[in-house]
């Protein structure tokens, strides 16, 4: 058997370590999603920072295309992680602003599908261009797409943020009524105050009798003459959202799915090579089997918009548990190992397509419920960007931890223990989803505080 020279193995090892290190650095930079989520809710619009993110991604692509030294590649990877933290966070928030919460599930499904197709088709197209064009030609489609993206972002007409005071209708301002936004909802902390002329028209002197006079006095006493405001300043959005179990389960579910899904990146190819002597083409086929079901993500989003996030997410985790546990049976000596692995990974891909969109929607519905229960709790611009920042943080953490944990478990305990641990982790999340996700219950209007007043019944689907 041909042996690789010891010096060459050292070079390969150093190269693999460098690639892994650059990937970890990019994922660490993505932790800035929380900061950009906070920033996206503080500034007037989302288009400017989104354009900044696309521009940074363009600079990262140029560094990859033109760089040939480790420092340049390191800068490119940092810029890539920075752009991802901006674009993924503010992109989802801008999507929510455009389509609204009524159809955010379907829009999220299409977005998840597009992301999966990009991850799937990118390496294939890059390999083809590298084979027949060269190294620099690999980046030409990316540069072209970025140019189109910049043009489209400059052409976009950005809607007002939910909760923004900029969309107040002039009529409502003149009559001192409640603040009515462009989407027809009332936001902020100002209550409904009838105009005095309207009140007097309703109770003209000719119509007054002892009963109506009493009614007038009662009506005047129960209607505030000054705008109603919150007794407290807006609280810390992150603390408020993380105090809600439904939000915690949503980000835990996304973290779990990404941890398991990316865990296969580091173990699948070595496993099928060591145990079944299958080549990298087979590994690509298995990853394709896991990625193709993401085409079903829009269907999951539509079901989420119609029936709520609970049952699509529950169905996904319910399918993930047996798919992952049964992987432990595909070991050395079984017949048709490639086919069996492909079928089980395809089922897990369906589980991802079913679960990811409703979990994202669940987090946004929690933010909406807080705003409806206690208007202005997140300030005048809401907290949708901050919610997506936390979701992106969970995705980045799962993508970082997944390959590391899966690799360690497989090396120390074996493939069977690794697949069993993945199935058990999904089973735990299945319990949390069925108990917590989409539930109705009493939550205090003084969220994330010690006050127990103003508790109301909440059900968001």
Give φ, ψ of 334 to 5 degrees: -75, 155
Q: Is the C-alpha dihedral spanning 432, 437, 441, 443 positive or negative?
A: positive
Angle, helices 310-326/297-307, rounded to nearest 10 degrees: 140
The DSSP code for 186 is B
Angstrom distance (rounded) from CA 458 to CA 461: 10
Angstrom distances, CA of residue 245 to CA of 35, 336, 368: 22, 44, 15
Angstrom distance (rounded) from CA 261 to CA 452: 41
Low-confidence residues in the chain, pLDDT < 50:
1-18, 163-197, 199-200, 202-203, 205-208, 212-221, 229-232, 441-461
Instruction: Please give the model's pTM, rounded to 2 decimal places.
Output: 0.73
| pLDDT at residue 358, as a whole number | 95
Copy the structure tokens of residue 177. Answer: 């009524």
Instruction: Enumerate residues 6+ apart whose C-beta is below 8 A from 278.
Output: 272, 337, 338
Which H helix or E strand runs over 27? helix 6-29
CB count, 10 Å around CB of 130?
13
Q: Give yes or no for a contact between 308 and 461, defined as CB atoms under 8 angstroms apart.
A: yes
CA proximity to 36, closest of 82, 101, 80, 78? 82
Domains of the chain plus CATH, in order, are 19-159+234-458 (1.20.1250.20), 165-222 (no CATH)
CA proximity to 399, closest of 187, 287, 303, 255? 255
Q: Give yes or no for a contact between 143 and 66, defined as CB atoms under 8 angstroms apart.
A: no
Q: Is the C-alpha dihedral spanning 247, 253, 256, 262 positive or negative?
A: negative
Angstrom distance (rounded) from CA 221 to CA 219: 5
Angle, helices 384-413/70-99, rounded to nearest 10 degrees: 130
The pairing of strands 455-458 and 441-444 is antiparallel
From first CA to last CA, the distance across the chain in angstroms is: 63
Half-sphere exposure of 455 (CA within 13 A, CB side): 11
| pLDDT at residue 318, as a whole number | 96
Q: Is the C-alpha dihedral spanning 99, 101, 104, 106 positive or negative?
A: negative
Per-residue model confidence as pLDDT tens digits over 288-332: 899 899 999 999 999 999 999 999 999 999 999 999 999 999 888
Angstrom distance (rounded) from CA 214 to CA 1: 102
């Amino acid at each position: 058997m041909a042996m690789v020279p010891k010096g060459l193995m050292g070079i390969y090892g150093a190269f693999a370590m460098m690639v892994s290190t650059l990937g970890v650095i990019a994922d660490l930079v993505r932790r800035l999603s929380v900061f950009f989520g906070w920033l996206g809710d503080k500034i007037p619009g989302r288009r400017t920072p989104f354009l900044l993110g696309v521009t940074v991604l363009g600079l990262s692509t140029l560094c990859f295309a033109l760089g040939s030294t480790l420092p340049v590649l390191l800068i490119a990877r940092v810029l890539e992680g920075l752009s991802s933290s901006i674009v993924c966070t503010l992109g989802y928030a801008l999507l929510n602003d455009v389509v609204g919460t009524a159809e955010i599930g379907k829009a999220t499904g299409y977005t998840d599908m597009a992301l999966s197709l990009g991850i799937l088709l990118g390496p294939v197209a890059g390999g083809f261009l590298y084979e027949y064009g060269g190294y620099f030609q690999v980046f030409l489609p990316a540069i072209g797409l970025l140019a189109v993206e910049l043009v489209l972002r400059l052409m976009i007409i950005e809607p007002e943020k939910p909760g923004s005071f900029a969309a107040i209708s002039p009529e409502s301002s003149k009559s001192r009524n409640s603040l009515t936004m462009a989407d027809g909802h009332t936001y902020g902390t100002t209550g409904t105050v009838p105009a005095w002329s309207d009140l007097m028209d309703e109770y003209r002197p000719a119509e007054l009798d002892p009963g109506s006079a009493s009614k007038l006095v009662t009506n005047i006493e129960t209607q505030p003459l000054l705008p109603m405001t919150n007794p407290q300043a807006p609280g810390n959005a992150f603390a408020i959202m993380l105090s809600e179990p439904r939000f915690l389960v949503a980000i835990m579910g996304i973290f779990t799915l990404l941890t398991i899904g990316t865990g296969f990146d580091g173990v699948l190819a070595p496993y099928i090579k060591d145990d079944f002597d299958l080549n990298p083409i087979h590994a690509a086929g298995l990853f394709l089997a896991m990625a193709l079901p993401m085409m079903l993500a829009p269907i999951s989003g539509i079901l989420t918009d119609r029936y709520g996030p609970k049952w699509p997410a529950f169905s996904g985790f319910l399918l993930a548990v047996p798919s992952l546990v049964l992987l432990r049976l595909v070991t050395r000596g079984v017949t048709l190992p490639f086919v069996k692995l492909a079928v089980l990974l395809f089922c897990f891909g369906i589980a991802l397509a079913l679960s990811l969109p409703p979990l994202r929607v669940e987090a946004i519905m929690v933010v909406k419920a807080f705003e409806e229960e206690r208007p202005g709790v997140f300030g005048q611009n809401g907290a949708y960007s901050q919610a997506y920042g936390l979701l992106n943080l969970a995705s980045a953490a799962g993508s970082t931890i997944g390959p590391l944990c899966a690799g360690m478990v497989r090396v120390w305990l074996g493939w069977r223990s690794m697949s069993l641990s993945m199935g058990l982790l999904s089973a735990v999340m299945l319990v949390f989803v069925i108990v917590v996700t989409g539930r109705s219950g009493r939550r205090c209007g003084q969220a994330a505080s010690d006050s127990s007043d103003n508790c109301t019944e909440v059900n968001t689907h």
